[in-house]
Structure 1
Amino acid sequence: MVKPEMTEKKKKPSRRWVWFVGAALTVFLAIAAPKISLFFRSDQKPCQCADSRKYTGLVEDCCCDYETMDSVNEEVLHPLLQDLVKTPFFRYFKVKLWCDCPFWPDDGMCRLRDCSVCECPENEIPETFKKPLNRGLSFENMVCKEEKPESIVDRSLDTKAFRGWIEIDNPWTNDDETDNSEMTYVNLQLNPERFTGYTGAPAHRIWDAIYTENCPKYPSGEFCQEKKVLYKLISGLHSSISIHIAAEYLLDEANNLWGQNLEIVNDRVLKYPDRVKNLYFTFLFVLRAVTKAADYLEQAEYDTGNPSEDLKTESLMKQLLYNPKLRAACPLPFDEAKLWQGESGPELKQQIQKQFRNISALMDCIGCEKCRLWGKLQVLGLGTALKILFSVDGENHVNLPLQLQRNEVIALVNLLNRLSESVEFVHEMEPTVEKTMEGQISTPAARSSLLQTIRDFVVRTKSRSSS
C-alpha cells in the first residue's frame, strides 16, 4: 500500500517538471523566433518550378515578356546597376530638401531618426560637381533635324549629342533645377530608401492627391492610351516604393532590428496583380529611355576627380547600354512611337506633362526628409525618362537635340536600379510570400500570438503548481 505522503511528493515534482518544460519552450521560441523569421524571409531563391510562375507572356503595352525580363534582370541588369549606383558619380544627388508645400501646410512629420537625411560635408563632394555648368542651348537656336508632323515621335537621337553637362529645367518636373542656392548634395549610399515611420493620414494624402487629382485610375475602355501610360507609370513607381519600404522594415525598434516585412509587401503590392504588372511596365519604360539615350550616355563625362573610379563608371555604363544579351532578348522594351498620334496629340501631351509636373510638386509636401529625397529623385528619374522618349519642350518643339543634366542622369540610373531591385524581389520572393501568408505562423503578429499563448500556459501551470 502506497502511503499518502509518498503520492503527494510524486505529484509536486510532476507539476514543477511541466512548468520547467513550458518555460524552456518559451525561451527556445523567443530565441529561435528571429531565426524562424529569417527562414521564412530567407534570401535564398525559392525553387522555380515550371508551373509556379504567376506572371507570364508579354508585359501589357510593352515588347518584352515577364520570363525574359526576369532572366535578363537577374543575370545582367541587376548586378550591373548595383555596381553602377555605388560609384562616386552616381552616389551623389543634388536636391532641394527644404521646400514649402504649394498645396497645404506641411503637418506630416515622421517619428524616427531614420527619417532625416545626412547631407554631404563640403570636402566629400567631388570637385568637378562644384564647377558651374553650362546653361544649355536656347530652344530658339535649335534646329530640327527633319521636318515631321508634331504628332510623330522620332525614335532616333543625335549620335553626337553630348556637349557637356548643362543646367536646364526639365519641362516634365516642377523644381527649378538651375537654382543652386537652395540645393544640397546628398550621398545616396548613406541615405537608403527604407521604412522611416512616415505613415498615417499625411502619407496617404500624398498618394490620394496624386491619384485622384492628377492620375486617376482609368475605367476599362474609357481612357486613352497616353493617360493609361501615366497611371501605370505612377502605379508601378508606387509599387516599387512600397516594396523597398517592406524589404527594409524596422521589425523591432527597441533592438534596432531590420528585416523584410512580408505581410506589408503582400498587402500593398503582391495580392494586387495589376500593381505587379505596372511595376514591370514602369521598369521596361525606364529601361527603354536608358537604351534610347545610349549614344548620349556613352559619350557623357563621368568625371569625379577619381580616375580609376571614373574609368570603372564608364565601363559599367557601356556594359549596361550595349549588353548583347539584353539587346538580343529585348531590343525594344517599350515602343513610344505609338503614342501622341492624331490631331489631339500635342494638346494631350501638354495636359499630361502638366499633370506630371503637379505630381512632381507634390513631392515637396512629403513630411519626411528621406521620403522626400527618394520621392524627388525617382520622380525626376521618371521625368527624365519621359523627356528622353518624348524629347520636346513645353511648346512642343519636336526632335530637338537631347540635353540632360548631370542630376537627371544620376536620378535616371538610380531609378532604374530601384525598379530592378523591386522586380528581382517580386521574382524571387513571391512564392515564399504566398506560402508565408497561407501559414500565418511566419508573420511577426502570429509569432507574437504564439509566444503569448505559450506564456499564458506557463503562467497558468505555475499558478496551479504553487496552489
Structure 2
Amino acid sequence: MVKSENEQRKRVNQRTWISIGAVIFLLLGIGFVPRNSPVTSLIHRIKTCYCSQDGPKYHGIVEDCCCDYQTVDRINEEVLNPLLQQIVKYPFFRYFKVKLWCDCPFWPDDGMCRLRDCSVCECPENEFPETFRKSSGSVLSSDDLVCQEGKPEATVDRTIDVKAFKGWMEVDNPWTNDDETDNAEMTYVNLQLNPERYTGYSGPSARRIWDAIYLENCQKLDPSGECQERRILYKLISGLHSSISVHIAAEYLLDEKTNMWGQKLSLLYDRVLKYPDRVRNLYFTFLFVLRSVTKAADYLEQADYDTGNPVEDLNTQLLMKKLLYDHKLQTACPKPFDEAKMWKGQSGPELMKQTQIQFRNISAVMDCIGCEKCRLWGKLQILGLGTALKILFSENGQDQSGQHLQLQRNEVIALVNLLNRLSESVKFVHEMGPSAERMFGKIIGGPTDQISHQF
C-alpha cells in the first residue's frame, strides 16, 4: 500500500515537471520564431485581441490638435483637473456677471422648465467681493430679486461696478453678441451655488435652441469637410454640447420625490458615447480652450485677482501660475492646438469674419433659452469659447482692429470656468465611459452623429 502511494506520487511529480518543462520550452521557442512566420502572426493576433479588451477606445493624436488621447487623460488627471477644481472655488472665479432676463431676438421665449432646479439663486449683496461692486450703486427692490428656489435671503445688488479692477480693461468681445460693457440689468451669480446639472429642460423649446445653433449657424460648416477652418466652429459647438450632456449624466435627478441625485450612465451612453465623434469633439474643444489659456499665460499671470481678501487672492494667483507654467503639462503637451495653421491664404480673413458672425449668432441664441440655469451656463460657456477665439486669433497680441488685446474680468472668469467644465467632462468620460459601454452596448466604429435636442 505504501509502495503504491509512493509510486503514485512519483508519477504526479514527473507529470508536473514534464508540464513545466513543456511550458518553458514553448516560451523559449517563441522567442526564436521568425517574425513573419505563421506562429508569430497567430501570437500577435491573440495578443492584439486580448489587449483590445481593456485598451483605450480612443488613441492617437486628437484630430486637428497636437496631443494624443492618452496624454490628455493623464495630464488632466494629474495636473489640470485638481488645479482647476481648486481655482474655481476661490471668490474671483466664483462670481459671474450675467444678464439673466433677456428678450429672445429670434422668437418669443415660451420655454418652461418643470423643475425648480432650473432657477438661479442670485448672490446676496454682502456675499460677492466689494471690489466687484459699483461704489455708488443702488440696490433694486428686493421684491424683484427673490430667489426662485424660495430663499428670500438670496437677493443681490444688480448694479455692477462701472470700473474694471486694476490692470484690466472693460472692452467688448467681438466674438459674442452680449455687450459685456453694458452693466444695466446684470447681476452676479455664485456659480458654486448654481451647478451645471440636470434641470428637466427639454422638449420643443430645447429642440428649437439646438436647431437654431446647428441648422442655422453650422449648416455651412460641414464637419466632414477637408477645410480645417470650416470644421472648427462645428467641432467647438459639438464638443461643448457633449460636455453639457456629460454634466447632466454625471449629476442627474434620479428621484424627484426624495431629491436624490446621482449618475445616469445610460444617458451618458445614449447622448455621448454612442457617437464617437462627440467624444472626439469634446477632447478637441478641451485642447482648444487649454491652448488659449496657455497662450495668454503672460497676461493671466500679471492679472490682479483682487476681491478684497488678501489670503484667498494670493492663493488664486499662485494656483493660476502653477496652472499656466506646470512642468508636466509643458513637457507632455507644450502646444495643445496650433492656431497658426488657420486662416491662411487669400480667403483666410474673409473666412474668419464669416465664422465670427456665425459665432455671434450662436451667442445671441443663448437669450432664447427658457431655463434660467441653462441660460446661465450657456452664456458663461459661450463667452468662454468666445474669449478663447479672441485670444487664439489675435495676431502679435493685437486684435483685428490693431488694438492691443485686452481681457475683462468676466471673460477670464468664463474662460477658466469653461476649461474646468471641459476638464470635468473629459475626466468623467475617461473614468466612466468603459463601464457605460459595457452596460449599454459596446460600439465599434459607431453610428453617424446625430443631434440630441435636450439639455
TM over 0.5: yes
- Counterpart of 2:331 in structure 1 is 328
1:315 has 2:314 as partner:
no
User: How far did residue 323 of structure 1 move?
Assistant: 0.1
Match of 1:266 among 264, 269, 272: 269
User: How far did residue 220 of structure 1 move?
Assistant: 6.9
Match of 1:249 among 248, 252, 257: 252
Whole-angstrom distance in 2 between the partners of 1:281 and 1:220: 13
Whole-angstrom distance in 2 between the partners of 1:399 and 1:66: 37
- Counterpart of 1:8 in structure 2 is none
CA offsets 1:95-137 (integer angstroms, 9 cap, x no match): 00000000011111101010000001111120111144558xx
Which structure has more RCO (C-alpha within 8 Å, separation ≥ 6)? Answer: 1
Q: Match of 1:414, SS?
A: helix
User: How far did residue 313 of structure 1 move?
Assistant: 0.2
Whole-angstrom distance in 1 between the partners of 2:281 and 2:439: 24
- Counterpart of 1:372 in structure 2 is 375
The 5 Å alignment of 1:62-77 reads 62-77=65-80
- Counterpart of 1:403 in structure 2 is 406
1:354 has 2:357 as partner:
yes
Unaligned runs of 5+ in 1: 1-47, 136-161, 440-467
The 5 Å alignment of 1:94-113 reads 94-113=97-116
Retained in 2: the 8 A contact 1:70–1:423? yes
Are the structure 2 counterparts of residues 219 and 176 from structure 1 closer, same or farther at C-alpha, using a change threshold of 3 Å? closer
Aligned residues: 365
The 5 Å alignment of 1:48-447 reads 51-131=54-134, 132=161, 134=163, 164-216=167-219, 218-219=221-222, 222=225, 224-391=227-394, 397=400, 400-438=403-441
Q: Match of 1:427, SS?
A: helix
Q: Match of 1:404, SS?
A: coil
Q: Match of 2:110, SS?
A: coil
Retained in 1: the 8 A contact 2:103–2:109? yes
Q: Match of 2:175, SS?
A: coil
CA offsets 1:65-107 (integer angstroms, 9 cap, x no match): 0000000000000000000000000000000000000001111
TM-score, normalised to structure 2, is 0.77
Matched letter for residue 59 of structure 1 = V
Percent identity of equivalent pairs: 76
Whole-angstrom distance in 2 between the partners of 1:50 and 1:71: 20
CA offsets 1:186-241 (integer angstroms, 9 cap, x no match): 00000000001101111111111101110137547646211201110000000000
CA offsets 1:133-177 (integer angstroms, 9 cap, x no match): 558xxxxxxxxxxxxxxxxxxxxxxxxxx9712211100000011
Are the structure 2 counterparts of residues 427 and 225 from structure 1 closer, same or farther at C-alpha, using a change threshold of 3 Å? same
- Counterpart of 1:6 in structure 2 is none
User: How far did residue 397 of structure 1 move?
Assistant: 2.7
Matched letter for residue 67 of structure 1 = Q
Are the structure 2 counterparts of residues 195 and 127 from structure 1 closer, same or farther at C-alpha, using a change threshold of 3 Å? same
Are the structure 2 counterparts of residues 218 and 169 from structure 1 closer, same or farther at C-alpha, using a change threshold of 3 Å? closer
Retained in 2: the 8 A contact 1:133–1:166? no
Q: Match of 2:126, SS?
A: helix
CA offsets 1:409-467 (integer angstroms, 9 cap, x no match): 0000000000000000011011110122149xxxxxxxxxxxxxxxxxxxxxxxxxxxx
Q: Give me the CA root mean square deviation.
A: 2.1
CA offsets 1:5-25 (integer angstroms, 9 cap, x no match): xxxxxxxxxxxxxxxxxxxxx
Retained in 1: the 8 A contact 2:96–2:191? yes
Whole-angstrom distance in 2 between the partners of 1:244 and 1:359: 21
Matched letter for residue 267 of structure 2 = I
Retained in 1: the 8 A contact 2:399–2:405? no
Whole-angstrom distance in 2 between the partners of 1:64 and 1:296: 24
Matched letter for residue 202 of structure 1 = S
- Counterpart of 2:29 in structure 1 is none
Matched letter for residue 278 of structure 1 = N
Matched letter for residue 340 of structure 1 = W
Q: Match of 2:261, SS?
A: strand
Retained in 2: the 8 A contact 1:391–1:400? no
Q: Match of 1:93, SS?
A: strand
Retained in 2: the 8 A contact 1:112–1:197? yes
Retained in 2: the 8 A contact 1:346–1:396? no
